[in-house]
A = this chain, B = another copy of it.
C-alpha cells in the first residue's frame, strides 16, 4: 500500500510544524497590533462561488468535489476546494455586511488548493497569509498594510527586503501614452516583464514579432525599462493622461504617509511592476529579497471584486504573504531561533522499575505544574537504553529515582549535555532544571 501523501501534498512532521507555527505566530501577532482581526472560511465552497473568478486558467486548476447521494453516479461536481482567500473574503463581506464594522480589517491564514503540476517549491496544498482592509479608499490603508508587512519581515529577522510599489492607473496611462490599445496591454506587459532576462534588444524584437510598432517599444523601455529618477513622483506627470496623474497623486500619498512607519526605508517605486491578477484597480506592491526569484508576498487595491458578490462597489486593499517561500528563505539563511528546532520536552522521567511508575507519574505531574514539558518513558527498561533515548531525542535532562534516591527521598537529575548527575530534593527538581535551562 502506498503510504506517501497524495501527489503535490506534504506531511509536516513536528519540526516542520514548529517552523510553520512560529512564522504564522509572528504574522498574526503583527497583524493584531494593527487592529486586524482573524477570519476563517470553510475549505469547501460551492463550485459556483469560485468558478469564473480566476480566469480560464484558474478555473481549470480548481479541485472539484463529486456530488453525493442522488446525482453521485453522474460524475458531476457541486463543490470545490478553496482556491485563494480573496474570493471567500468577498463572499463573507457580502453575506455579513450588516454585522461587520464599516472598516473591516481581517487577516486569514489558511491552506488553499490548486491542481497545478507539482514542481520544486510548487505544491497543490499551500498556505496563504492574507491581510485586507475593506471600506476605505484612503491611502492610509495602503500605508498601514505596508507598515504591517514591513513589521512582519523585520520581526522574522529580514533586514534586506524591499517593497516595490506601483499603480495600475499609472501603467494604463503609460501604455496609453505609448499607443498600446486596451486589448494589447497584457501582451505588451508580458514582454516588458522579460526585460531582465532578454535585455532591451530582446524586448524590441519580441514586440516587433507581436506586431507592435518600434516607437511603442521605445516609449515603454524609456518609461518602464529604467529606474525612475529619484524625484520622478514629484514631477507634474506631463504627457500622462488624467488616470496617470491621479495614480501619481496616490503614489505620492503612499510614500509620504510611509515616512514615519517601518515600511518607509524599504519602499521603492517600480513603474514596471504589473502583478498578474486582473482584479487590481489601483496601487500594487510586491515584497522582494535578493536571494529569491519571485516575491515573498504581494498585493494591491481591488475596488470592484467584492461588488461581484454584494452588487455595490466596496473599496478593498490587501497583501498576501507567501508562507512557503518565507519558510524556504528562512531555512536557507538559518533564520529560525535555535530553541524552536530543539527539543520535544525539557526533561524525561526514566523508569527504574515497574513498581514505581505510579509515583513517577505524580513526579511528572509536579514538574508539569511548574511549567516544564515532561516526557514520561512509558515502560521499565534498561536505564542505559533510556538515557540513550533521551539523548537521541535532544531532551536536555533525565530524572531518575533509583534505589538510593528512593531511600533518601530524592530525585537524581542528569544533565545530558554535561553528563553531570546530582540528587535533588523532590520539591527542588523543577527549580533546578528551570534555572539551568534559562541560565
* Contacts from A to B (Cβ < 8 Å): 1-6, 9-14, 16-18, 20-21, 32-46, 48-49, 63-66, 68, 74-77, 79, 81, 91-92, 94-96, 99-103, 105-106, 111, 113, 115, 124-125, 133, 135-136, 138, 140-141, 143-144, 147, 151, 256-262, 308-310, 344-345, 348, 351, 357-359, 361-362, 364-365, 368, 371-379, 389, 392-393
Chain B residues closer than 8 Å to A33, beta-carbon distance: 368, 371-374
- On whether the beta carbons of A257 and B357 are closer than 8 Å, the reply is yes
Q: In the complex, what residue of chain B is closest to A62 when comparing beta carbons?
A: B68
Tell me what chain A mostly uses at the interface: helix, strand, loop, or mixed.
mixed
Across-interface contacts of A113 in B (CB, < 8 A): 43-44
Residue of B nearest to A136 (CB): B378
- B45 pairs with A6, CB closer than 8 A: yes
Closest to A49 in B: B2
Tell me if A368 and B34 are in contact (CB < 8 A): yes
* A378 partner, pick from B39, B103, B256, beta carbons under 8 A: B103
The 6 closest A-B pairs by CB, nearest first: A75-B75, A260-B362, A35-B375, A14-B37, A9-B42, A17-B38
Extra 16 A-B pairs, beta carbons < 8 Å, given A32-B373, A43-B125: A2-B49, A6-B42, A14-B106, A33-B368, A34-B374, A44-B125, A63-B79, A66-B66, A75-B76, A103-B378, A135-B378, A140-B361, A143-B361, A258-B361, A259-B362, A262-B365
Chain B residues within 8 Å of A102, by CB: 389
Q: Are A140 and B365 also in contact (CB < 8 A) when A2-B48, A66-B66 are? A: no
Q: Is B358's CB under 8 angstroms from A256's CB?
A: yes
Sampled A-B contacts (9; CB under 8 Å): A2-B46, A3-B309, A14-B39, A34-B376, A42-B125, A101-B392, A103-B378, A140-B361, A260-B361
Question: Which of A102, A106, A368: most chain B Cβ within 10 A?
Answer: A368
Contacts A33-B368, A361-B140, A373-B35; is A41 near B5 (CB within 8 Å)?
Answer: yes
A393 vs B345: C-alpha distance when bound (angstroms): 41
> Could you say which residues of chain B place their CB within 8 Å of the CB of A257?
357-358, 361
- Which residue of chain B has the shortest Cβ distance to A100 in the bound complex? B13
CA distance in complex: A389, B76 (Å):
47
Give complex CA distance A33, B33 in Å.
28
Q: Which of B101, B111, B140, B147 contacts A43 (CB 8 A)?
A: B111
> Would A13 and B42 be within 8 Å (CB), given that A63-B65, A260-B358 are in contact?
no
For residue A143, which residues in chain B have a CB less than 8 angstroms away from its CB? 361
B66:A40 contact, CB within 8 angstroms? no
Residues of B within 8 A of A262 (CB): 365
Q: Are B34 and A358 in contact (CB under 8 A)?
A: no
Q: Are B260 and A344 in contact (CB under 8 A)?
A: no
Are B65 and A261 in contact, CB atoms less than 8 angstroms apart?
Answer: no
Q: Which of the residues B66, B106, B147, B309 comes within 8 Å of A1, measured between beta carbons? A: B309
A43 to B372, CA, bound (A): 32
Partner among B6, B260, B309, B351 whose Cβ is within 8 Å of the Cβ of A359: B260
CB closest chain-B residue, reference A351: B140
Assuming the contacts A374-B35, A393-B101, asked whether A96 and B42 have C-beta atoms less than 8 A apart, the reply is no
Distance of A144 Cα from B374 Cα, bound (Å): 11
The answer for the CA separation of A233 and B359 in the assembled complex, in Å, is 21
- Closest residue of chain B to A91 (Cβ to Cβ) is B3
With A64-B66, A309-B1 as contacts: A358 and B10 at CB distance below 8 Å: no
| Docked pose: A158 CA to B375 CA in angstroms | 25
Contacts of A94 in B (CB 8 A): 1, 3
Q: How far is it, in angstroms, between the C-alpha of A2 and the C-alpha of B309 when the chains are bound? A: 8
Chain B residue numbers with a CB within 8 Å of A259 are 358, 362
Q: How far is the CA of A43 from the CA of B123 in the complex (A)?
A: 13
A37-B344, A115-B68 known; A147-B4 Cβ under 8 A: no
A42, B11: Cβ atoms closer than 8 Å: yes
